[in-house]
Amino acid sequence: DHTSIRKRIQSVLNIEPSDYQKLQPEGLYPFVGNPRIDMPDGLPFELSEYIELVDLTGRQLREGKHG
């Protein structure tokens, strides 16, 4: 229950998507959007893309996997 995805989702519940970047949990590497020339330090994609990746990965079927 103590994963970065859970902390990230909880930090953005009930806020506007445009505010996601400002309200990221302290201590986690920030999402800074798509790669660009003057790239700030952080993960080179959006929070929504990360959540989608985690969701799709978790839905993959695998023999012996519960759920």
User: Which pLDDT tens digit goes with each residue over 35-46?
Assistant: 788 878 888 888
Rg of the chain over all Cα atoms, to the nearest angstrom = 14
Domain span at 48: 4-58
Distance between CA 38 and CA 21 in Å, rounded? Answer: 17
Query: Is 63 strand, coil or helix?
Result: coil
For residue 20, the model assigns a pLDDT of 66
- Residue 12 lies inside a defined structural domain of this protein: yes
DSSP secondary-structure letter at 43?
B
Q: Is residue 64 part of a domain?
A: no
Measured CA to CA, the distance from residue 30 to residue 48 in angstroms comes to: 13
Q: Give the distance from CA 11 to its chain's centroid.
A: 11
Task: Give the pLDDT of residue 5.
Answer: 79
Tally of domains within the chain: 1
Residue 16 included in any domain? yes
Single pTM value for the model = 0.61
In a domain, 48, yes or no: yes
Q: Within the chain, which residues score under 50 in pLDDT? A: none
Is 14 inside any structural domain? Answer: yes
Note whether residue 8 is domain-resident: yes
